[in-house]
Structure 1
Amino acid sequence: MTPDDLTQVLRGGESTTVEFKRCGDLPHADTFETVCSFSNRMGGDIYLGIDDDGDVSGVDKSRVAEIERNIANVANNRKLFVPAPTLETEHCEYDGRMIIRIWVAPSSSVIRFKGVVYDRIADADIRLESDIQISQMYIRKQNYYSERRIFRYITPFDLRADLIARMRDMAVAQRAGHPWGTMSNDELFRSAKLYDRDYATGEEGFNLAAVLLLGKDEVISSVCPSYVTDALVRRDDVDRYDDRLLVRTNLFDAYDQLTGFVRNHLPDHFALNGDKRTSPREIISRELVANSLMHREYSSPVVARIIMDNQSVRTINASRSFFEGRMRLGEFTPMPKNPIIADVFLQTGIAEKLGSGLRTLIKAAHMYAGAEPEFIDGDIFTAAIPTTHAGVSDDSTVVSSSNPLSNGVEAAHKDAEVQRAVMSVGQDEPRYGRLDPEWAIRMSIGRQVEACGVVTVPNIIKDTGLDARMVRKRLNRMVEQGQFVVEGKTKNRRYVSTPKLNLREYEDNKDAINSMVS
């Protein structure tokens, strides 16, 4: 680490992989909470001797070796960390002050600090207690694919004979002489890895992929009760929907129904691909739906959605994420979330080779609306494809944002966050204690302003369960933006709202969230 490297870090500020910490004699417990959260997410760098706002205060130069030794001892103390995280330390001088960098590697195991699991969301360390949140972390880290789960008592009679024949015919139509065309059903099941053996337990039988692809509807609902795709059109009635389709059937029929739904509600814009006339609408509907069905984490209870509005068409689904953040070509390695299902889709022509879908959607979005799509991966995957040209909506009215996709992306994140809230709010917890920190604080502020126009730190802490430092940091930022004025000092400090305060997000989401926590 050089001073120039540190300058770039300071410019970027705190993030999912960067944390600034003050450090007195020795690192405080919150430093090791960040070590735990980084280990459980993507890894990252902790800089000791830097304030939250990026001011460099430094650490005591005479105690650098002692601090680094303390970090190593705590990390390897089995009474504190289980299992031990992997980390390294280094130090450098910056403007005459000493800075210590702790590099934390992502762990293949779920790590606990003092018996608590911490996760990193945005620039905050989140204490996880919900079974769903912790199980989602195990799903993300384990090498086991849920589609390979074997059901010993599923028989060929639980599968649809017409779907087996359809799968075979589609493969042959895709490639003449495909071996599935001459195989018996038993040979086909084994070739497609739909009938499998777990070599760790010795169990043998049809797996979840087979049930989802070929199973009867009642069998699918029995073995995978949370599986559903909720497709919505929100153009005129944005609070509810103009049209809706709930799909709980096998993946072949689900693909047909969902692509038909998107196609019916998306205007057709023909374009030239080279010298050939093509329909980007067909490409968008096909690739979006195939991606949602192939790469979904089916063991998660999060409801998958396809939402169409005046600005975009977007998908939201649970993911077994290997990557966190915005996905850009050349900056990530495509990883199949369900390799068996993906291979069947590839063999039958529903999908193309791994990684090509992203490129195809980007190209189709440019042909359809002349704008960039957005893909963001994590525990919840969101994809948003613009459907209007820059500055103009479907009804030719002017759009306030210069980027027609911005509203769609924000809405996708909003829907994803409300999904997280729906699955994880507990009755014995702080009112908003299970939402991501930023959302929890927004909801608490909105509730207090609506009630009396005044916000206090203790009330937000009571609502969210967050620490005072994080709450004050957010409120101070809002004071700087002119949204609040401060009255009183220290113990009796109050934040009074001003006309600049924007409570739109609270108004948009309070009914959905408050109904779950009241």
Structure 2
Amino acid sequence: MTSDKLQQILQQGEGLEIEFKTSAFELNKDAFESVCAFLNRRGGHLLLGVNNNGGIEGVIENCIPDIIHNIVTNANNHQKLNPPFYLSPEVIDIDDRKIIHLYIPESSQVHNTNGRIFDRNDDGDFDITKHADQVAKLYLRKQTTYSENNVFPYLELADFKPALFKRIRVLAEHERAGHPWMEMSDDELLRSAGLYKKDPLTGKSGYTLAAALLLGKDETIMNVLPHYKTDAIVRISNPDRFDDRDDIRTNLVDSYDRLMSFIGKHLPDKFYQEGEHRTSLRDRLFREVISNLLIHREFTNAFPAKLIIEKDRVYAENWSRPHGAGLIDPANFAPFPKNPVIAKFFNEMGRVDELGSGVRSTFRYCSVYTPGAHPQFIEGDIFKTVIPLKNIGKTTPVKESGWPQVRRKVRRKFGEKFGESSEKILLVIFRSNGLSASAIGKEVGISSRAVEKQLARLKDLGIIKRVGPDKGGYWEISDLS
């Protein structure tokens, strides 16, 4: 959150979507009552280190790690907050003091804390546990607003893909060692993930639409949602029709893999250093785009989700429940969950981060993948994401202070007539590790087959080496000293 946005919240004062807590050295005992109330109502901002009048008192710096640990641990504890919900505290410096900011989105489920249900109005948090009519209205509003919670009483475990349960457990274990899913039966896993509910209208219980979409067999999904599909299209050589297409009508877990493979098939990659590790820039960027396309979608509408690759852009679009209109500003927007249960499930598998981070990550990675360009997120009935590709075929400017030395070493070792095309290939590798043979060929002006032969020759001469596997690795110039 920016300091300007924070100042606006402070000036606005406490209300339906804003709550202040002092929490100078520990988390207020009633803090999770506000968390619960925000989840049940319309979401909101919880600021720790601020008094009731909006005065900044600050949180003692040495106490911040314990307070944040307390928030994260309790948010994932069924006994404290049920069902659990992922929260991401943010520490903000203002007026030489530190406050902790929590953005809490509206949830698609009814939550309780310490066994009590809280709702929110302009005057604060209210315990409605013993008010049966208010509780019933709350459940009804959630059920009718979030279609992912639609209950299908006749769905059985046999309607889900057995192999998928094994896959998601592996993904979750890789993300967090000792993940609770590892010790659960398939039914226990579904229930713990909020995929089994009671319909307040009919009184019947069953697995939900979210369960079918995440783990259902293809025929199961078509039975509960006949219009469901995701269309992946390439329109470059033939813009009026398509060059390639994948009509995807399977579960969301496999849909993610197929869309990532489709992107990998048709777009070049760029590897770059992130911290101490090299990573695929293309995968980091389109992980966010594809996750957003699959997760934040109104599935009950027949409009198909689309991922379209064109000559100068990639754009994704899906039907949405808008909470605004026009371009989204990453520095000043309030994320709103379209399908919180599905999003939480993807988060457990490590395929999406906390709510709102995807927009910021897409801006960060896009500016590197397509130098000088920025993505667009357009809110409306149809939510659109646009990734420009205008500079994708161009390498970044060569580091002139480094390349001449490399060229001299190669010529000294292998002679002046080393080969013009080989030298151009080395220059491309020097500029940008991780390009495919076809992408290198476009840079040099030769076929990808000719590039592959040259790469094999350069490897045999010890000029370049392969780092990582054949798929997912990259070429690097060897130490020629």
1:141 and 1:175 map into 2 onto residues whose CA distance is 30
1:160-216 Cα offsets, whole Å, 9 max, x none, are 111122222221221011111111222211100111112344221000000001111
Structure 2 counterpart of 1:147? 148
1:320 and 1:199 map into 2 onto residues whose CA distance is 23
2:143 and 2:194 map into 1 onto residues whose CA distance is 20
2:237 and 2:156 map into 1 onto residues whose CA distance is 47
State the 1:275 CA deviation.
6.2
1:28-70 Cα offsets, whole Å, 9 max, x none, are xxxxxxxxxxxxxxxxxxxxxxxxxxxxxxxxxxxxxxxxxxx
Structure 1 contact 366–372 (Cα < 8 Å) conserved: yes
Structure 1 counterpart of 2:353? 352
Structure 1 counterpart of 2:101? none
Structure 2 counterpart of 1:162? 163
State the 1:304 CA deviation.
1.1
Structure 2 counterpart of 1:378? 380
Structure 2 contact 312–390 (Cα < 8 Å) conserved: yes
Structure 2 contact 157–187 (Cα < 8 Å) conserved: no
1:271 and 1:343 map into 2 onto residues whose CA distance is 29
The change in CA–CA distance for 1:219 and 1:327 in structure 2 (over 3 A counts) is same
Structure 2 contact 378–385 (Cα < 8 Å) conserved: yes
Higher relative contact order (Cα pairs below 8 Å, separated by 6+ residues): 2
State the 1:312 CA deviation.
1.2
2:260 and 2:251 map into 1 onto residues whose CA distance is 14
The change in CA–CA distance for 1:184 and 1:200 in structure 2 (over 3 A counts) is same
2:378 and 2:188 map into 1 onto residues whose CA distance is 39
The change in CA–CA distance for 1:247 and 1:142 in structure 2 (over 3 A counts) is same
1:143 and 1:329 map into 2 onto residues whose CA distance is 30
State the 1:341 CA deviation.
0.6
SS in 2 for 1:344: helix
Structure 1 contact 271–368 (Cα < 8 Å) conserved: no
Structure 2 counterpart of 1:194? 195
Structure 2 contact 319–383 (Cα < 8 Å) conserved: yes
Structure 2 contact 315–385 (Cα < 8 Å) conserved: yes
Structure 1 contact 288–315 (Cα < 8 Å) conserved: yes
CA RMSD in angstroms comes to 2.0
Matched, 1:343 2:311: no
Matching of residues 355-370 of structure 1 within 5 Å: 355-370=356-371
State the 1:276 CA deviation.
4.6
Structure 2 counterpart of 1:459? none
1:373 and 1:182 map into 2 onto residues whose CA distance is 41
The change in CA–CA distance for 1:141 and 1:345 in structure 2 (over 3 A counts) is closer
2:277 and 2:158 map into 1 onto residues whose CA distance is 46
Structure 2 counterpart of 1:251? 252
Matching of residues 57-456 of structure 1 within 5 Å: 144-273=145-274, 276-370=277-371, 371-389=373-391, 394=393
The change in CA–CA distance for 1:262 and 1:242 in structure 2 (over 3 A counts) is same
1:239 and 1:395 map into 2 onto residues whose CA distance is 26
Structure 1 contact 365–373 (Cα < 8 Å) conserved: yes
Structure 1 contact 271–367 (Cα < 8 Å) conserved: no
State the 1:378 CA deviation.
1.0
1:297 and 1:239 map into 2 onto residues whose CA distance is 28
State the 1:388 CA deviation.
2.8
SS in 2 for 1:213: helix
1:347 and 1:254 map into 2 onto residues whose CA distance is 17
What is the letter of the counterpart of residue 307 of structure 2? I
2:390 and 2:367 map into 1 onto residues whose CA distance is 11
Structure 1 contact 263–285 (Cα < 8 Å) conserved: no
1:354 and 1:288 map into 2 onto residues whose CA distance is 13
1:223 and 1:157 map into 2 onto residues whose CA distance is 15
The change in CA–CA distance for 1:147 and 1:327 in structure 2 (over 3 A counts) is same
SS in 1 for 2:386: strand
Q: Which runs of 5+ in 1 are unaligned?
A: 1-139, 397-518
SS in 1 for 2:284: helix
Tell me the percent identity. 46
Q: Which runs of 5+ in 2 are unaligned?
A: 1-140, 396-481
State the 1:234 CA deviation.
0.8
Structure 1 contact 310–394 (Cα < 8 Å) conserved: no
SS in 2 for 1:383: strand
SS in 1 for 2:191: helix
The change in CA–CA distance for 1:142 and 1:312 in structure 2 (over 3 A counts) is farther
Structure 2 contact 175–349 (Cα < 8 Å) conserved: yes
What is the letter of the counterpart of residue 372 of structure 1? H
SS in 2 for 1:301: coil
Structure 1 contact 231–244 (Cα < 8 Å) conserved: yes
1:270-323 Cα offsets, whole Å, 9 max, x none, are 234356533221112211111100001100111111010111111011011112
Structure 2 counterpart of 1:439? none
SS in 2 for 1:345: helix
What is the letter of the counterpart of residue 387 of structure 1? L
Structure 2 contact 236–310 (Cα < 8 Å) conserved: yes
What is the letter of the counterpart of residue 380 of structure 1? I
1:141 and 1:224 map into 2 onto residues whose CA distance is 20
